[in-house]
Amino acid sequence: MMAPRSTDTCTWICCTHLIPWANTAFGYDEWTFQQDGAPAHKAIETQDFLRDQCPDVITVDPHWRNLTGEWPPNSPDLNSFDYAVWSIFEEKACQKPYPNVESLKRALKKAWNEITLDILVKIVDNFSKRLKACIDANSGWFE
C-alpha cells in the first residue's frame, strides 16, 4: 500500500478541516486563503482545488522562475508562521534534545497551547506592516 502523496494530504486537510472551519468562523464575511511555498501547497492540484473551494486565494507560482503567482517566491517574511510562530516554538520547545518523537510532540503541543490569543492578534496585526515593507522593497529583501 502506498502512502498518500503530500498533495493529497494537503487537499484532504483543507477539505475536511480548514475550509469548513473558515466557513463557520467567517460566515458570509469575505476571507482570503494564503498559501505558503511548501511543495504540497504550491502543487497545481492543490491550488486548483483551493480556487474552486475558497472565496479568494492568493496563489503561489509552482514554477517560481515564471513569477506568475500572486505571492512573491521565497517569502517567509510574509507568512505569520514563518516570521513569528516558528520562532516561538523554537524558543519554547527546541532548546534541548528529546529522547524520542513523542516527547518532542508533547513539547510542541505544550508550546502551542502557551501561545495566547493576545500574541496571535499582535502577529496578525503586524502583517500589514510587513506587507508594506515588502511592497516598498519591490518584493526584495526586507527586515
Same domain, yes or no: 16 and 66: yes
Total count of domains within the chain = 2
Same domain, yes or no: 62 and 100: no
Residue among 109, 81, 107, 80 at smallest CA distance from 96: 107
The predicted structure's pLDDT at residue 44: 82
User: Structural domain of residue 35, as residue ranges?
Assistant: 1-71
In angstroms, the CA 60 to CA 69 distance is: 5
Tell me the residue type at 13.
I
Same domain, yes or no: 53 and 94: no
Same domain, yes or no: 102 and 134: yes
The predicted structure's pLDDT at residue 2: 47
In angstroms, the CA 142 to CA 12 distance is: 34
* Percentage of the residues of the chain whose pLDDT score is greater than 70: 81
Confidence of residue 1 (pLDDT cuts 50, 70, 90): very low
Does 23 score more than 70 pLDDT? yes
Same domain, yes or no: 21 and 58: yes
Same domain, yes or no: 51 and 86: no
Q: What is the mean pLDDT of residues 18-28?
A: 87
The predicted structure's pLDDT at residue 97: 92
Same domain, yes or no: 4 and 67: yes
pLDDT tens sequence across 11-20: 888 888 888 9
pLDDT tens sequence across 63-114: 555 555 666 656 666 778 777 888 898 898 988 999 999 999 999 999 999 9
